Structure 1
């Protein structure tokens, strides 16, 4: 059995795979909220994946680390990631700059150095970044932005030196690859005219489509990516990276990445099933993934969480379909 431990508000990242594309995975997969992680003490075989460490408080991390230690001592469970030993975003980026892998630095707002390379931007260490942050081009602009942090909703702000250059075609690129145990697979190559690459535009050039297909099919950076995961002491997650002057540059490793965002609709611009298969097959290949050992309390909580997710994605599917229909009528 695969026990996926996640923050209670972010248990949706595997949902589209489980509900639509690989329903066979559900027999071997259990969502576990951190507040229920203690139930794992009663399981003797399977694999535990710890995620969302960046979203936990220090007390929650300490409790999870204690449970992880108990599981290591008293059960035969395989564990991927560690609540406190796996590096979070800030510490990983500091390490990668210190060992010469990354050419950009990160700072805490109260620990700035004079020799910062501009432009920089400010982001939270926790969670995902959905909107393009403003670039700050000098120290007065940075100081003003830091002064505005008081009262903001950033839990652990960090100052990041911007890095990245567009390709010959004018597009910036961001690559993403998953690690699931011993498996590395390429998930996407997003392209944008903006330095802040979140998703590719809906209408891609034919050459871009072929480039993305080649990246996914050949998985060219698997060895280099695995080395970064090992430095981070993470056995599960998604790494986001780019290339600058031919060198791989890492932005982050997300411990609870969304595999597929949207449920299938008749208007999908690509077939998501192969991506679901990559994820599901890698999960099922984990040691003890198909050991039929769980607890009734874990199963009940999982079914309750999945039922809520099912309702959510049914509504999302309806909204996406209606939106496309209305656009076509215009």
Structure 2
């Protein structure tokens, strides 16, 4: 039994996986923290960046108890790096050519342009590129003047490269246990490539067939596996999706999402490019196979009434009391 643990409002991300796998279920952290015992099996902790420090400590305590009880734990909350620390580590390791700074630390980036994003979510569209240090300082001053806190926000150096004039791409590779699965490649007319908005423009693009072939080669060859494995290892992430671009053929990883929204990718190509559907089927089949490989049967019950979990027990009593109120 694979147990996916997410924040309560972000459980939709795993619904498709649970339907496909069958032997899987979803837990919210709120529900998890109210349990007195859990069954063994495989437990996947996600959404670390959306948890408070207190909740991370509670989740780590549960993960420790699960491991001691014989369960398999992926993404142990005590070992997963946050976005800021991961970007710093990737830069220090020579994987990324760009770095990041916390907004409240008087950032002075090494290169411009830069952009500002939240550390606690995965919004990645319509970022404003900031041209130089004076413009950055002015942007931070405006944020404070408008009552927007700098805490929880990052300044990140831009690292992107067009795949065709006015077209950018984003690759996505999953990790499940020890396996890496090249999954899909999105092309977009915005530098923060996400999901293309102008589908007809993309379908009419003269390089569409090349984009489709690029994705096929990426998935079939599981390209960039070695560097991505290093990145996942640095992050302490056993399950998740790395989103990255290429700059001079080098992967530049801008995040590893432990709770990626998983569903049907690539519908924009299906009417005219059935070859992409076959590519996506291959990557999906590999992903499901990897998940089944890490699936442990739901074994014995593991008690959570442990001295190490006293803060968790207090939280459970508090949460239960609030629920009854």
TM-score band (shorter)?
0.7 to 0.9
How far did residue 142 of structure 1 move? 1.1
Residue 212 of structure 2 corresponds to residue 212 of structure 1: no
Q: Against the structure 1 CA distance between its residues 5 and 115, is the aligned structure 2 distance closer, same or farther, given a 3 Å change threshold?
A: closer
Q: Encode CA deviations 1:81-113: one digit per residue, 9 max, x unaligned.
A: 111321111100011112222111101112235
Separation of aligned partners in 2, 1:274 and 1:9: 30
Paired residues of 1:41 and 1:71 also in contact (CA < 8 A): no
Q: Which position in structure 1 is the counterpart of 2:257?
A: 254
Paired residues of 2:18 and 2:25 also in contact (CA < 8 A): no
Alignment of 1:1-330 (within 5 A): 1-19=1-19, 22=20, 25-26=21-22, 28-38=23-33, 42-73=37-68, 75-114=69-108, 116-150=110-144, 151-152=147-148, 156-167=152-163, 170-200=166-196, 202=199, 203-204=202-203, 205-260=208-263, 271=277, 274-288=282-296, 291-293=297-299
Bigger CA drift: 92-101 or 186-195?
A: 186-195
Bigger CA drift: 212-221 or 163-172?
A: 163-172
Aligned to 2:61, what secondary structure does the other structure show? helix
Aligned to 1:14, what secondary structure does the other structure show? helix
Separation of aligned partners in 1, 2:109 and 2:291: 44
Paired residues of 1:61 and 1:84 also in contact (CA < 8 A): yes
Aligned to 1:67, what secondary structure does the other structure show? helix
Please, which runs of 5 or more residues in structure 2 have no aligned partner? Answer: 302-325
Separation of aligned partners in 2, 1:114 and 1:14: 38
Q: CA RMSD in A?
A: 2.7
Separation of aligned partners in 1, 2:105 and 2:294: 41
Q: Against the structure 1 CA distance between its residues 125 and 71, is the aligned structure 2 distance closer, same or farther, given a 3 Å change threshold?
A: same
Separation of aligned partners in 2, 1:130 and 1:114: 22
Q: Number of matched residues?
A: 286
Separation of aligned partners in 1, 2:173 and 2:182: 4
Q: Which position in structure 2 is the counterpart of 1:319?
A: none
Separation of aligned partners in 1, 2:107 and 2:141: 17
Q: Encode CA deviations 1:227-264: one digit per residue, 9 max, x unaligned.
A: 11111111010001122123222111001001216899
Bigger CA drift: 192-201 or 138-147?
A: 192-201
Paired residues of 1:124 and 1:155 also in contact (CA < 8 A): no
Q: Against the structure 1 CA distance between its residues 195 and 11, is the aligned structure 2 distance closer, same or farther, given a 3 Å change threshold?
A: same
